[in-house]
Structure 1
Amino acid sequence: MKRISALAAAAAVLATVPASEALAGKRYAATITRTTYGIPHIEARDWRGVGYGVAYAYAEDNLCLLAEEFATVAGERSRFWGPEAKAVLGFEEVDNLSSDVFFRAVLDLPALREGAKALPPRVQDLLAGYVAGYNRFLRDAGADGIPAECRGKPWVRAITADDMLRLNEKQMLLASSLNLAAAIANAAPPGSLAPKVAIALPDARELGIGSNGWAFGSEATANGRGMVIGNPHFPWKGPARFWQMHVKGPGGYEVMGVGLAGTPMPTLGFNKDVAWTHTVTEARHFTLYQLALDPADPTRYMVDGKSEAMTPQTVTVPMPEGEAPVTRTLYSTRWGPVFVVPARGITWSAQSAFALKDANRGNQRGIETWLRIGEARNVGEVEAAVSETLGIPWVNTIAADRYGDALHADVTAVPNVSAEKAKACATPIAGLFAEFAILLDGSKASCDWDAAPGTPVPGLMPARDQAATTVRSWLTNSNDSYWISNPAIPHPQLSPILGRYATARSLRTRSNFIETAALLAGGKIDHARAQAHAFANKSLAADMTLDEIKVLCLTTQNLVAAAERGCVALTQWDRRFETSSRGAALFRAFWFKAARLPGLWQVPFDPADPVNTPRALAIDGAKGEKLLAALAEAVVELDKAAIPLDAPWGKVQHVMAGNEAIPIHGGPGTLGILNMQESVPTPNGLTPRHGTSYIQIVGFDDQGPVADAILSYSQSTNPASPHAHDQTRAYAAKQWHRLPFSAKAIAAETIAAPRRIAE
């Protein structure tokens, strides 16, 4: 009895000792407090502790996902899942063998190790802490504590610093080289036995990925302080899922927001003075080079009349037990690795080949950039962080501060290629690549990227030549280029590598401008109006076309039965993608077909009126007949899928949580819907693949940030977790969560005793 009493007394004393004292003397130490929806609040006295706590908490929620990701970047997918199975790289699937070859060949681990030595000490500490925290969780969980989905799997293992370096490099390449992984991994000289793998030439605009972000300044908000609405559209499954966290570290660092798998601190969120979000930029972070090959040897290429040898690299990929490993040799040039996309005419012949030079290869600056953003006291310091480091890899930065300034900075790691250089170095076939990338002449050394003073790496475009705007009104981006962030203040024209200029904007961008103008016309913005704006679920495509479709339906004689049924269903639709909307599924199917028809609009695009053009659906003669044919085809498509034409949208688009179907509002961005959800067919209807993910509305009062948010797909990928679907239900019901940032708010929402970990 005395022993029990003594232990109890000791525990009581320990409980009164501050965490900083109780954990003193430990190399790694952190305290993790969980609040509503399982959001972790991680507090540490140094950067090692921050990484330690973040990794531990992330592994508690998503161990299997992260363990698989470490196997992916190590090039071990074929060994564990077979060479023909698929991996999600970036935003698309690639066969495991191509994935493994890419990571083993393109990720230059010796160079990454060398580069890591020059990283700021706090970044090195963060990464070391993350490794320790992940491994600590594995030890604490033991064999029986691993989630059922990956329990006993050989790919669930302790990690090293190399794993973090590879994972960080992968994140930097998400919107560039990674999307050409199969094209690089399967490039072989003429005469070689080329692998038979389907290779695509992806374009972010075609993939439908993207985001919306708004920054409102003092002239637009009810309280005269800045406000940010962040609505990134990211995958619902896989390593590009967001995860919420609140981190309190050394030197007053305190940031709440989200990061991706393996991110050691928030990369999107807010502190007490500044809020920020990101959207995928239209800027190109690489260039392609057309090579003139040496007639004597297709693995040599000509530069300024002299022959240069390509650099061969042979990699060996382990296969499942009992199968021989696969060995493959890839080739690289001064311009980067050779790649092929035969279906698009990008081949390796005896005369020519193509190479890719990526501005984000070896970009290890991103973590320091986001740390500086997290420390920023105003949007000027946010702009300085992205401009001085050029560490942001492929996203716009949209921010506002408590003082009422709003910023849109399309400033990233991009090649320093001017319009003049792009024109002078173009090859005869450069126009065929214009929608995807800038193609340069690899036979001229002068066609390399220009070095500019003041950049952290030679060949990057300096921030002064990119686009950054600060106002006290408002700015927004929905993945179109820098040209227009606010229709009242178009940006001057810059290099074509930063995106298209004076061209038609997407329906989602146009919807953004129209809805934002309508929002502000009704009064200055506050949290309640921002919430309604984010989840309005209007379709600009519907608003632009349904009146004409109705006329077409009423004036066409002898409608085929399918088209007639479609006309009736669309007449009864509310033109929204709410879970209760009837007819939304039909319009979605119809617009996917109709939008591709030539001569769709009567009024063409006018650069002087980009918000309202093109417009006026063309329904005369054969054009009307094709529209009705598309409607009939959509009806037949839904019939085959057993989806009633008047089915409530939430019965069609949903997420399964066990046997529970959670209805999901929102719809495709190509329909001009801001609350974007791109869904794929399932046996039960449609389920989101990517779209609205972490939605945050952040303003400021006298005490600090005021943030409402929701994570649409919830914190955990472990089906057994109570936080696997809780926020998804809240998203379905449009129930926002006021995030606990202050100590008082955290204490009020704490769902379990704080956990202190140290070693």
Structure 2
Amino acid sequence: MLNNTTLLIALRASRWQNVLRAFIIFILSLCLALFLGSQGFGSAPRHTEILWDTQGVPHIYGNNNRGAFRAFGWAQMQSHGNLLLRLYGQARGRAAEYWGEEYIDSDKWVLTMGVPNRANSWYKAQSPTFRSYLNAFADGINAYAKAHPELIDDEVEIVLPVKPEDVLAHLQRVLNFTFIVNPEQVAGMTDKGSSAGSNAWAIAPKRSASGNAMLLANPHLPWSDLFLWYEAQITAPGIDAYGATLVGIPVLAIAFNDNLGWAHTVNTHDGWDTYELTLAGDGYRFDNRARAFETKTHSLKIKQDDGTLREQPLLVKSSIHGPVVAEKDGKPVALRVVGLDRPGVLEQWWDMARSQNLNQFESALKRLQLPMFTVMYADREGHIMHLFNGQVPVHSQGDFAYWQGTIPGDTSKTLWTKIHPYRDLPRIIDPASGWLQNANDPPWTTTFPPAIKPGNFPPYMAPRIMDFRAQRSARMLAEDEKISFDKMVEYKHSTRMELADRILDDLIPAVRKQGGKLGQRAADVLEAWDRQANADSRGAVLFAFWVEQMDLEQAFSKPWQEGSPLTTPDGLADPKSAVAKLEAAAAKVEKTYGSLDVAWGQAFRLKYGNVDLPANGGDGELGIFRVVEFAPTPDGRFQSIVGDSYVAAVEFSKPVRAMVLTSYGNATQPNSPHVGDQLQLFARKQLRPVWRTRQEIKAHLQERKVF
């Protein structure tokens, strides 16, 4: 038993041991803090920084959100500075003033649509916090230009300094006045459908080999201009998201984090309408009364070859429907577009990327600030979702086909003023099938058995169709009971032509019966062909040339049927004509390439910058999931211009497994080594691993910028 003196000595010794231990811990902690505070890779930095990996992807670590936005502006300038400034100049409606006559039509469109003025009002309508983020993004752009003027083309420097309103003007030009509607559509050069496309899949745990939900994001856009994707990671308080956005947009538009992710596809959404007006004196007639046009005159400035400016007036007349954009049979035609009163698109995307579960994600979606695009979603908890997202006008009459035409504009009965709320939109969560797909088809065919019934929605919501690419997409998912991550990546690169599978069993017998010698040789090639569009596929060129001569809407004896969505259309409507066109196609192929069985990759090329490779993939109209569209070149070959742009395959395992590719590389600046540097992987049908942790990034670090 201890006496008091012994106990006191023991307590004092223990106290000094504790003090000494605490002092040692303090010194060690101080050393560690000093080490990490020197911007080491052990923890999040005290300052904002950009870590550039060897693929040219910026990994942004912001000590606050404003710092992250500023760094993202800097990063976009480093990768795409010339393009970004040119796009912002066009969004101002001053491109002809900066760069000459070829931009007159662009300026007319932007000014007629009221983009610059609306950008100012949208900026004022932002929340104070998000407005500060836009300011920071613009500051980052300007800071880069000031620090590296030698890396920016002289002719685009005139756009500087960039203002946050320019960002919002660019956003409008991209979303509302390119994706929703563009000048060519208004002029009648194309129909109301968009040429832009995409694929997206969501796979539930019940259909996943690993038991984890998986997501496939795969937009198909032109490989140039405002359609270019920019890949990045953004980490800041409350966010750690990886994905891509279009150049000039300050937030990620397709992304994933540790808990969830989403993809977008262009949906069969009708977000614009043209109205034919009946003139009444100097105005127009509406509800049996004459109304005056609202008018505004802009002064277009156009740069001449000698550097002087020529001025040209632009009179914009607007009715209650919107601006007058064309004339039909001597009558003015006015344009009405959704989304012009909803300035919160960027903040919604930002909050989608910050979400950690389905409830949070849907809370952001319910704002309906994003005017169009399907949303395909998957998360770690195993939920999958397809939302036919968009600002869909509420109509009192007509089906989808009716609203594709020009609408009488003399009555309020046809003038829409409201959009459907979120609860009205086609949507499915966790279908019984365990999978969801969209390949720009209407929501009714997102899975089988059908999970969204078209009869439960207004007839103008979406058409009732399913093309061959969508059928191919659904077929791959439906026929595989347990899909592994690697198999999903393999399916993503499938070049099998659903159209060939559907029609060759009718075409080849017709040729054997009716064709001449050339036709028989062509049939031999088609019989031996693997029905794919790989670089070494022989027969694909001949088949594609034949399809080019066919009117596919009239080619089949049995049209597409809702009750047989994956096996129709089918049968040749006019076998004799089809055989004659095959022989004509065969003659053209043989004359051009010297052989009927020319390899696909000899005729079709993947070309970007200085890279030129044999192609795989083809037009979605052929029923190919791996989409690449081509333009003819003077040497008789074809060059890639549209198609698979950004791909992200994600499995919500612990940790998340992800592989990606930005087809044309993550930069366009002439000094960058990343122009076209991923095209070799594209040609080999490969994706690259995502580097998200600081340890992974350090192992593949190319450059570091600390702010």
TM norm. shorter chain > 0.5: yes
**Structure 1: any 5+ residue segments left out of the alignment?**
1-11, 86-95, 184-198, 424-430, 451-458
Question: How far apart, CA to CA, are the structure 2 residues paired with 1:692 and 1:312?
Answer: 43
Kindly indicate whether residue 170 of structure 2 is the aligned counterpart of residue 167 of structure 1.
yes
Question: How far apart, CA to CA, are the structure 1 residues paired with 2:292 and 2:517?
Answer: 64
Paired letter, 2:583: A
Q: What residue is the counterpart of 1:127 in the other structure?
A: 134
Kindly indicate whether residue 705 of structure 2 is the aligned counterpart of residue 750 of structure 1.
no
Q: What residue is the counterpart of 2:571 in the other structure?
A: 616
Q: 1:470 Cα shift? A: 0.3
Aligned length: 666
The change in CA–CA distance for 1:662 and 1:122 in structure 2 (over 3 A counts) is farther
Question: How far apart, CA to CA, are the structure 1 residues paired with 2:325 and 2:180?
Answer: 10
Q: Contact between 1:231 and 1:692, CA under 8 Å: does it hold in 2?
A: yes
Which runs of structure 2 are paired with 1:79-478 in the superposition (5 Å)? 79-83=97-101, 85=102, 96-142=103-149, 144-146=150-152, 150-151=153-154, 153=156, 155=158, 157-175=160-178, 178-180=181-183, 183=186, 199-203=187-191, 205=193, 208-250=195-237, 252-294=238-280, 296-297=281-282, 300-320=283-303, 321-322=307-308, 324-340=310-326, 346-347=328-329, 349=330, 352-387=331-366, 389-417=367-395, 421-423=396-398, 434=401, 437=404, 439-449=406-416, 459-471=418-430, 473-478=434-439
Paired letter, 1:602: S
Q: 1:359 Cα shift? A: 0.8
| CA RMSD in angstroms, aligned pairs only | 2.6
Q: Contact between 2:301 and 2:312, CA under 8 Å: does it hold in 1?
A: yes
Q: What residue is the counterpart of 1:528 in the other structure?
A: 486
Instruction: Give 3-state SS (helix, strand or coil) of 1:674's partner.
Output: coil
Counterpart selection for 1:678 from 629, 632, 656: 629
Q: Contact between 2:119 and 2:166, CA under 8 Å: does it hold in 1?
A: no
**Structure 2: any 5+ residue segments left out of the alignment?**
1-32
Kindly indicate whether residue 522 of structure 2 is the aligned counterpart of residue 566 of structure 1.
yes
Question: How far apart, CA to CA, are the structure 1 residues paired with 2:77 and 2:214?
Answer: 32
The change in CA–CA distance for 1:225 and 1:177 in structure 2 (over 3 A counts) is closer
Counterpart selection for 1:496 from 451, 456, 459: 459
Question: How far apart, CA to CA, are the structure 1 residues paired with 2:368 and 2:228?
Answer: 24
The change in CA–CA distance for 1:438 and 1:401 in structure 2 (over 3 A counts) is farther
The change in CA–CA distance for 1:253 and 1:22 in structure 2 (over 3 A counts) is closer
Moved more, 399-408 or 678-687: 678-687
Question: How far apart, CA to CA, are the structure 1 residues paired with 2:236 and 2:624?
Answer: 39
Q: Contact between 1:75 and 1:100, CA under 8 Å: does it hold in 2?
A: yes
Q: 1:214 Cα shift? A: 0.5
Question: How far apart, CA to CA, are the structure 2 residues paired with 1:311 and 1:174?
Answer: 21
Kindly indicate whether residue 38 of structure 2 is the aligned counterpart of residue 17 of structure 1.
yes
Counterpart selection for 2:62 from 21, 35, 44: 44
Kindly indicate whether residue 548 of structure 2 is the aligned counterpart of residue 541 of structure 1.
no
Q: 1:682 Cα shift? A: 1.4
Instruction: Give 3-state SS (helix, strand or coil) of 1:225's partner.
Output: coil
Which runs of structure 2 are paired with 1:652-691 in the superposition (5 Å)? 652-656=603-607, 660-684=611-635, 685-691=637-643
Q: 1:217 Cα shift? A: 1.1
The change in CA–CA distance for 1:591 and 1:182 in structure 2 (over 3 A counts) is closer
Question: How far apart, CA to CA, are the structure 2 residues paired with 1:717 and 1:17?
Answer: 33
Counterpart selection for 2:538 from 582, 600, 617: 582
TM-score between the two structures when normalised by the length of structure 2: 0.89
Q: 1:407 Cα shift? A: 0.3
The change in CA–CA distance for 1:174 and 1:644 in structure 2 (over 3 A counts) is farther
Moved more, 256-265 or 581-590: 581-590
Paired letter, 1:582: R
Which runs of structure 2 are paired with 1:627-706 in the superposition (5 Å)? 627-639=578-590, 641-642=592-593, 644-656=595-607, 660-684=611-635, 685-703=637-655, 705-706=656-657
The change in CA–CA distance for 1:668 and 1:287 in structure 2 (over 3 A counts) is same
Question: How far apart, CA to CA, are the structure 2 residues paired with 1:747 and 1:593?
Answer: 53
Instruction: Give 3-state SS (helix, strand or coil) of 1:316's partner.
Output: strand
Question: How far apart, CA to CA, are the structure 2 residues paired with 1:381 and 1:444?
Answer: 41
Counterpart selection for 1:731 from 682, 687, 690: 682
Q: 1:579 Cα shift? A: 1.2
TM-score between the two structures when normalised by the length of structure 1: 0.83
The change in CA–CA distance for 1:307 and 1:660 in structure 2 (over 3 A counts) is closer
Question: How far apart, CA to CA, are the structure 1 residues paired with 2:642 and 2:44?
Answer: 43
The change in CA–CA distance for 1:658 and 1:62 in structure 2 (over 3 A counts) is closer
Sequence identity (%): 24
Q: 1:254 Cα shift? A: 1.0
Question: How far apart, CA to CA, are the structure 1 residues paired with 2:536 and 2:414?
Answer: 56
